[in-house]
Structure 1
Amino acid sequence: MVARYVVSPHGGRRAHRDISSALHAAAQRGRPALVEIAPGRYEETLVVRGEVRLVAAEGPGTVVVGRHRGAALEAAGRVRVHGLTLVGRDADAVACPTGSLTLEHTEIRATGGVALHAGPHASVTLRDSVVAHGRTLFSGAAGLVERCRFTDAADNAIAVVAGARVRVGDSRIEGSRIHGLRVSDAQAEVVGCELTGTGRAALMADTGAHLTVADCVITAVHAEGVMFIEQSRGSVDRTRVTDARHGIAAASGADPVVHGCVLADCRDTGINVQTDARGRFEDCEVLDSGNVAVFATDGGAPEVRGCRVARGNVGIAVTGGARGRFAHSTVEDLTGSALRVWDGSRGVFEHLRVERCPTGLDTRGDGGTTADLADTTFRDFRLPAVTAAGQSRVTLRRVTAERGTVGFGVAEDAQLFVYDCEVRAVTGGGVGGIGNGRLLARNLTVTGSEGVGISAKDSAYLDVEGGDFTDCAVAGAVFDEESSGRLAECSVSGERGAAVVHNGRVDLVALRSGLRVVHRAAPPAAPAPTIVNRFLGPVIHGDVHDAQFAWDNDHVSQHLRTEGDDSPR
């Protein structure tokens, strides 16, 4: 049987004037207790032991408990609190070092300390409540948070650390100075929550933590929407991040799985994977990113599949020794490059559709910079669909480029390998090589070019076998300046232009065409420069003894030296 106690600041028949006296009486009887508290402000710290239920008799907000300084409630045992306002200053407002504590329709206010502290042997439930200013800390504890609001925390709104296990559902976290929720060496599940206005990452997982996020909305945060670092793991599902610096990020060995998320209006990047982190991102949308939609750098290695990137600046960028795999995705309506591989990185792209971007893929960097594209289509581009530069190496298999300027280009000291690819309806040319670029193409088709099929200039080298060039307005192939190459088993057809215009440095092997071949000799080499040496003094061939020279002098003195005299002469 539950013993009932009444507390009223005005006293009364069988009423306690303060809550502590009622708790003392309940502890002496050693039975489960119900303490009903009349409206008022109680300047005391409650120490609760055993099985006790504290209830605001006239509903939430009518009872305020707390001293000018110190804690409001310390619970150990099996304690339930309903409808109280607990105020703490410069200390843990509510502490539960052991046992179980349930707070319902409760408000906790903390200034300069922790709002709620659950210890290693505690289980705490917070339901339909409000936590203002202070941090809610689960340290090795079990926790359940449902339908709560956390506002203006001076630190992290919720911290889950040291092996704690916490679920937060259907709650709102706003205005935290650091993180909305941080999980470190612990486990946390965040479902159906709204987070806004955090000073750093809204949700942070670090130090081997496991974080599960689902059906959340994250808005207007100063840093990341969700951040995984220090070998943390976890998943993010069906979550929308808007107006963050980075939507979802992973660093320092983290490896999250992200599915069905929308990352919109991120000021820098939508997906950011760096410093040896990994991550799998599936069926996500990245919209209107300020800098790069999907960014891998500094050894990061994401896998992206079934995603859509739209609007914004750069679509997918792999830089700084990173690597990534990207498949079955769409990139469209950007102001910069759709795909970018720079600086010793490796990108593998399969089954992509790229539309209405200035350029499809651009690469640059040392010989360790590689990009492999397969079964990919580029449409409506203003610059080359693919540009390989620096010393990078690019391989294209079954890639189509249509409705643009130039299909594929290689420049500087880069290498471009093209297999079973097609270029259609371009205004400039199908494939171009400049600088010292090298191209190897097998079964290349160029149709409807308003310029040339392929072209080379400077010292570029193009090796094309099995090429088919149809309806190219100027020529099937043009080789200018010091460029060279080989065309083997190629065909050029149409009613305009020439078959090949070359400089005599091209091997034509089994060329099939009814159009003319034009041999345009390379310009003669410039004569060797004439070298004129102008000497401001005498030029002497042979040995000279006992001689003295002077030039550009206004006055010359000569002295004779007699036998045995060491003076100059």
Structure 2
Amino acid sequence: MVARYVVSPRGGRRAYPDITSALRAAAARGRAAQIEIAPGHYGETLFVQGEVRLTALEGPGSVVVSGTGGTVLDTSGSVHVHGLALTGRDADAVACRAGTLTLEHTEIRASGGVALNARPRTSVTLRDSVVLHGRTLFAGSAGLVERCRFTDAADNAIAVIEGARVAVRGSRIEGSRIHGVRVCDAGAEVTGCELTGTGHAALMADSRAELTVADCAITAVHAEGIMFIEQSRGSVDNTRVTDARHGIGAASGADPVVRGCVLTDCHDTGINVQTSARGRFEDCQVLRAGNVAVFSTQGGAPEVRGGRISEGNVGIALTDGGRGRFTGIGIEDLTASALRVWNGSKGVFEHIRVDRCPQGLDTTQGDGGTAADLTDVVFRDFEVTAVTALGQSRVTLRDVKAERGVVGFGVGEEAQLLVHDCDISAMSVGGAVAYGRAKLAAKNLTVRGAGTGLIGSGSAYLDLADSEFTDCATMGAAFTDECGGRVVNCAVDGAPGAAVLDNGRVELVALRTSLPVVHKTVHTVEPTPTVINNYNGPVIYGPVIHSQFSWNNDNVSQQQTGRDDPST
């Protein structure tokens, strides 16, 4: 049987003048108690023990309790609070020291520090309530937060630490100075929530935390929308991040699974994986990223499957030792490169479609450890080059198509480009181009409708076999400078000009063509004339014949006889 107690500062039959006196009476009887509180402002600190229910008689907000010191509500037992407004200062506004605590339709206001503290081995439920300014702390406890609002926390709105397990559902977190929800060496589930205006990551998992996020909306964040660090794990499903610096990040060994998310208008990156983190990203969309849509650096190694990248700057970028595997992604309407692999990074790209980007693959800053492997990739309507391999990078293309651009595949400096079963069409300048000291090796390459199908210059080395160059506007192939190599069992057809401009250094084996081959004599550089420099005398160019010289002499005596006299 539950004992009923009424509290009214105005007095009345069997009414207690304050809440504390009613709690004392309930504790003396040692039974479950329901304390019903009339409207008013109560300047008390409440210590509640046992099985007690505190209820505002006239609904939420009608009863205001403000402690004279720090804590305004301190509970041990099984306590249920409904409709009260609790204001604390300095210390924990509300503390659950033992047992369970349920707060419904409650407002907790803390000028700073902790608004609600769920101590170890307790269980706290916060439902349909508002927390202002302070943070809600779960340390080694269990928690459930439903349909609540957290506003302007001085640091983290909700902190889940020291092995706590908490579920946050259908709530709104706004204006937190640090994080919206921070999970540290603990576990949290965040579902159907809105987070906005946080100073750091809206959702943060660190120190081997487990964070599960689903169906959330995150906006106007000064750092990451969601961040996993320090070997944290978890999943993010069907969540939208808008107007953050980074959409979703992983660092220092973290390994999240992200599915079906939309990352829009991120100022820097959409997906950011670094410092030995991993992560699997499936069917995500990154729209209008300010710098890079998907970024891997410093040992990061994401796996990205499916999804779309659109209307940003760079699509996928790997740099400074970043790695990654990318499959089944559509990339479109960027202002820079679709794929970028720089500085010792390695990327594997499969079943990728790139449309209307200035450049396809870019390895401009590629050292000897830089490698890119492309399989079943299509580049369409690009402004410059579909594939650019530079530095000392190594690029392998299998079943890659380039359609409508300036140059299909380009390799220069000391880079290597290996091409298997690829197709290039409608290039205004060149199909495949090699220059510098680069190496181009291709088998079953088809070039149709380029200015020149194959171009080799500088000291580049070409090794082509079983390839075809058709309907090229100028010629099928042009070899200049000291470019060398072999072209074996290839065909040139349909060009209005010559089949090949041959510099005599590229071996043409079994070339099939009805067009002329123009042999250009290799230019032999004349030896530089002998130059004799004597800095105390004249400077003489060329052979010295029938001449006499003297310098630094006070007197000179010259005799000249016949023209052919050997003494002259």
TM-score (norm 2): 0.94
Matches within 5 A, 1:512-527: 512-527=512-527
Structure 2 residue matching 1:385: 3-state secondary structure: strand
Aligned twin of 2:370: 369
Amino acid at match of 1:6: V
**Deviation at 1:532?**
3.5
Structure 1 residue matching 2:28: 3-state secondary structure: helix
Partners of 1:26 and 1:524 lie apart in 2 by 110
Q: Compared with structure 1, are the counterparts of its residues 531 and 98 closer, same or farther at alpha carbon in structure 2 (3 Å cutoff)?
A: farther
Structure 2 residue matching 1:223: 3-state secondary structure: strand
Q: Compared with structure 1, are the counterparts of its residues 89 and 530 closer, same or farther at alpha carbon in structure 2 (3 Å cutoff)?
A: farther
Partners of 1:55 and 1:532 lie apart in 2 by 109
Aligned twin of 1:567: none
Matches within 5 A, 1:265-414: 265-363=265-363, 364-414=365-415
Partners of 2:186 and 2:526 lie apart in 1 by 74
Structure 2 residue runs without a partner (length 5+): 538-550, 553-568
Structure 1 residue matching 2:25: 3-state secondary structure: helix
Partners of 2:522 and 2:497 lie apart in 1 by 20
Aligned twin of 1:429: 430
Aligned twin of 2:441: 440
Structure 1 residue matching 2:21: 3-state secondary structure: helix
Aligned twin of 2:28: 28
Aligned twin of 1:417: 418
Aligned twin of 1:556: none
1:105-141 deviations in whole A, cap 9, x for unaligned? 0000001220000011110000000000000000000
**Deviation at 1:435?**
0.7
Matches within 5 A, 1:215-230: 215-230=215-230
Are 2:244 and 1:244 equivalent residues in the alignment?
yes
**Deviation at 1:523?**
2.5
Partners of 2:492 and 2:29 lie apart in 1 by 103
Partners of 2:249 and 2:372 lie apart in 1 by 23
Are 2:126 and 1:126 equivalent residues in the alignment?
yes
Q: Is the 8 A contact 2:117 2:137 kept in 1?
A: yes
Aligned twin of 1:205: 205
Partners of 1:513 and 1:59 lie apart in 2 by 92
Partners of 1:205 and 1:327 lie apart in 2 by 27
Aligned twin of 2:541: none
Q: Compared with structure 1, are the counterparts of its residues 330 and 147 closer, same or farther at alpha carbon in structure 2 (3 Å cutoff)?
A: same
**Deviation at 1:448?**
1.1
Matches within 5 A, 1:186-201: 186-201=186-201
Partners of 1:341 and 1:245 lie apart in 2 by 22
Structure 2 residue matching 1:399: 3-state secondary structure: strand
Structure 2 residue matching 1:492: 3-state secondary structure: strand
Partners of 1:230 and 1:17 lie apart in 2 by 53
- Return 100-109 or 517-526, whichever deviates more: 517-526
Q: Is the 8 A contact 2:476 2:495 kept in 1?
A: no
Amino acid at match of 1:21: S
TM-score (norm 1): 0.93
Partners of 1:97 and 1:400 lie apart in 2 by 66
1:483-511 deviations in whole A, cap 9, x for unaligned? 11211000000041111101110100000
Question: What's the % identity of the aligned pairs?
Answer: 70
Amino acid at match of 1:369: T
1:263-301 deviations in whole A, cap 9, x for unaligned? 000000000000000000000000000000000000000
Structure 2 residue matching 1:243: 3-state secondary structure: strand
Partners of 1:524 and 1:307 lie apart in 2 by 56
Q: Is the 8 A contact 2:466 2:490 kept in 1?
A: yes
Count the aligned residue pairs.
539
Q: Compared with structure 1, are the counterparts of its residues 230 and 37 closer, same or farther at alpha carbon in structure 2 (3 Å cutoff)?
A: same
1:325-381 deviations in whole A, cap 9, x for unaligned? 000111100000000000001000000000000010011322110000001100001
**Deviation at 1:98?**
1.3
Partners of 1:70 and 1:168 lie apart in 2 by 27
Q: Compared with structure 1, are the counterparts of its residues 266 and 530 closer, same or farther at alpha carbon in structure 2 (3 Å cutoff)?
A: farther
Amino acid at match of 1:391: Q
How large is the RMSD of aligned CA atoms in angstroms?
1.3
Q: Is the 8 A contact 2:244 2:267 kept in 1?
A: yes
**Deviation at 1:69?**
3.3
1:22-68 deviations in whole A, cap 9, x for unaligned? 00110010000000001111111100000000000000001111124
Aligned structure 1 segments of 4 or more residues deviating by more than 2 angstroms: 526-537
Aligned twin of 1:75: 75
Q: Is the 8 A contact 2:474 2:495 kept in 1?
A: no
Partners of 1:388 and 1:526 lie apart in 2 by 34
Partners of 1:391 and 1:525 lie apart in 2 by 29
Structure 1 residue runs without a partner (length 5+): 538-550, 553-569
**Deviation at 1:536?**
4.5
Structure 2 residue matching 1:28: 3-state secondary structure: helix
Q: Compared with structure 1, are the counterparts of its residues 26 and 529 closer, same or farther at alpha carbon in structure 2 (3 Å cutoff)?
A: farther
